[in-house]
Structure 1
Amino acid sequence: MNRKAVFFDADGTLCDMEKGVPQSTKEALKKLRENGHDAWLCTGRSRAFVSRYLEELPFTGMISACGATIEKDGERLFNKEMPPEVAKKSVEILRRYGLVPVMEGADFMYYDKDEYNTDVNWYTDLITESLGSKWRPIRGNEDCMRINKISAKMIKGCDAEAACRELSEYYDIIRHESGSGIAGTTIELVPKGFNKAVGISAVCRLFDIPWEDTIVFGDSNNDLAMFEYAAVKVAMGNGSEKIKALADHITQDMFHYGIRNGLEYLKLI
């Protein structure tokens, strides 16, 4: 079998915000690499928020921030950042329409803890703990934020559509299905022209990976672009309906051996 390049989403596919990575997934990725295949993380998380439990997995490399950052062997190969003045304006627009801005960069994430707290998302404290010194407040850094993308948190009474209209000049907008895990109340704002497929395509060009050898695993709507791009698509059992509709195969969820079973189905382990 040709060497395959397998690209994995993180949340809902490889890991759970609270429980980390299942042991069966760790073992499956190790065996995948031992069998001579490549394993790439391809996550909507910015690089600053790639938690230790993901960094410890045997990845060939990482695509983060929905294609805006690429690294291999610890070397950052590409990093698309929004101009600081656009980041500042984005915060102002989101707050004007009642959304909570979480500004995501390769080195730091920026949010104000009195604004983004467990009343907004139950897992906020887990994010802060995972970030450690990579967390910075927006307050005091309004003019110097270095970000790749934004997660805008919807709260009661917000006007998300109005905010998206004003911000569409700068960002492509990813809307998640209501109730779809941790992303259900989040609108992702990604630099114009960027998505996970763009990141995968860049990796394929950089490392001479034939398109027909690309495989993706994912579960949420920020995986749609890579599902539309890749040669083989595997949806997690907990995946959104849009993702499942594009899949070549639907495996189980991560806690029921979904990654292991999916790789076995493809005869990669």
Structure 2
Amino acid sequence: MQTKKKYIFFDIDGTLTSHTKRDFISESTLQAIDQLKAKGHFVSLATGRSVFLAKEVAPRVNINNLVCEGGNGLIINGELHSYEPLDQEKVITIIEKCEEVGLSWAISNEDSPVVLTKDKSFVEHMTKVPFITRIEYDETYDFRNETSARRVFIENKPEVIQSINEIKEIGLMVYHGSLFGLVEPDDKYKGIKKMVEFLGGQEEDIIVFGDGMNDIKMFEKAAFSVAMGNAEEELKKLASYITDDADSDGIYNACRHLQLID
């Protein structure tokens, strides 16, 4: 019997890719994706990554649909469908408050690994951040004139960050240990819903896979959610189903269990 078409969205890091080896994708995951598409299901990535970082992974799994930028960017059939910018007033307020409390900061205002800052301490402390290849330091840079900020890098001091409400309103992820926090959108489901509606699908046919804290909103809202075995415990509590971890054929085994593939 033909399975009803599903709209399936995969987080990247720790879900589609290994949770122990960055960007490693198992053969079983590739097989599962090929079989899902052969069965007529719609397959997409759903990631907090910027467009350029998401596009590094997409060709390796032969997926050309992406919900990226934490739900703010949509790529359909390889073409940019839409991008929703951050609230620039909130970004400016966040940086003003960072300066008030002495948090180092930088802005990403384009789809690239380049960041801008007038904060010399950011240059001194953040040179080993893996997502950044060039820091443009300009002591005259006026962030209050910024109109295209896509994310804000800030020094990770949790007790101080908690005092800045505008950060909570946008979203925060902490990467690379305790070195820095990344103020970026964290509602992937917003983009998922928009994509499925554009394609003429129904929300009841959405299935999401994830492992991290920035997957919480899509797990709370999706009709069906699959947590990887290596997922955060808080996310597992929200999951419709918990599969094996990303390094133990988790995606393939879940797709078999859900009878999405043979």
TM-score by length of structure 1 reads 0.78
Alpha-carbon distance in structure 1 between the residues aligned to 2:72 and 2:165: 22
Q: In structure 2, what is the equivalent of residue 198 of structure 1? A: 190
Alpha-carbon distance in structure 2 between the residues aligned to 1:15 and 1:138: 33
Deviation (angstroms), 1:153: 4.3
Alpha-carbon distance in structure 2 between the residues aligned to 1:46 and 1:27: 26
The answer as to whether partners of 2:11 and 2:210 remain within 8 angstroms in 1 is: yes
> Aligned-residue CA RMSD in angstroms?
3.0
Structure 1 residues 249-268: aligned runs within 5 Å: 249-268=241-260
Alpha-carbon distance in structure 2 between the residues aligned to 1:10 and 1:58: 13
Q: In structure 1, what is the equivalent of residue 51 of structure 2? A: 47
**Counterpart amino acid of residue 257 in structure 2:** Y
Corresponding residue SS for 1:217:
strand
Q: How many residues align?
A: 248
Choose the corresponding residue for 2:23, options 13, 20, 25.
20
Q: In structure 1, what is the equivalent of residue 234 of structure 2? A: 242
Corresponding residue SS for 1:48:
helix
Structure 1 residues 49-128: aligned runs within 5 Å: 49-50=53-54, 52-82=56-86, 87-101=91-105, 103-104=107-108, 107-109=111-113, 110=115, 113-118=123-128, 124=129, 126-128=130-132
Alpha-carbon distance in structure 2 between the residues aligned to 1:85 and 1:154: 22
The answer as to whether partners of 2:90 and 2:166 remain within 8 angstroms in 1 is: no
Corresponding residue SS for 2:254:
helix
**Counterpart amino acid of residue 229 in structure 1:** K
Q: Give the percent of matched residue pairs that are identical in Structure 1 and Structure 2.
A: 25
Structure ID, larger Rg? 2
Alpha-carbon distance in structure 2 between the residues aligned to 1:183 and 1:255: 21
Corresponding residue SS for 1:40:
strand
For structure 1, which runs of at least 5 residues remain unmatched after alignment? Answer: 119-123, 130-134
The answer as to whether partners of 1:68 and 1:148 remain within 8 angstroms in 2 is: no
Corresponding residue SS for 1:44:
coil
Q: Does 1:36 align with 2:40?
A: yes
The answer as to whether partners of 1:46 and 1:105 remain within 8 angstroms in 2 is: no
The answer as to whether partners of 2:161 and 2:167 remain within 8 angstroms in 1 is: no
Deviation (angstroms), 1:73: 1.8
Corresponding residue SS for 1:82:
coil
The answer as to whether partners of 1:39 and 1:58 remain within 8 angstroms in 2 is: no
Corresponding residue SS for 1:256:
coil
Change (3 A) 1:115 1:92: farther
Deviation (angstroms), 1:45: 1.1
Q: In structure 2, what is the equivalent of residue 160 of structure 1? A: 161
The answer as to whether partners of 1:38 and 1:59 remain within 8 angstroms in 2 is: no
Deviation (angstroms), 1:93: 2.9
The answer as to whether partners of 1:88 and 1:145 remain within 8 angstroms in 2 is: no
Alpha-carbon distance in structure 2 between the residues aligned to 1:102 and 1:34: 44
Q: Does 1:189 align with 2:194?
A: no
Change (3 A) 1:53 1:175: closer
Q: In structure 2, what is the equivalent of residue 172 of structure 1? A: 170
Change (3 A) 1:220 1:103: farther
Alpha-carbon distance in structure 2 between the residues aligned to 1:104 and 1:19: 22
**Counterpart amino acid of residue 189 in structure 1:** V
TM-score by length of structure 2 reads 0.80
Deviation (angstroms), 1:227: 0.5
Alpha-carbon distance in structure 1 between the residues aligned to 2:227 and 2:160: 32
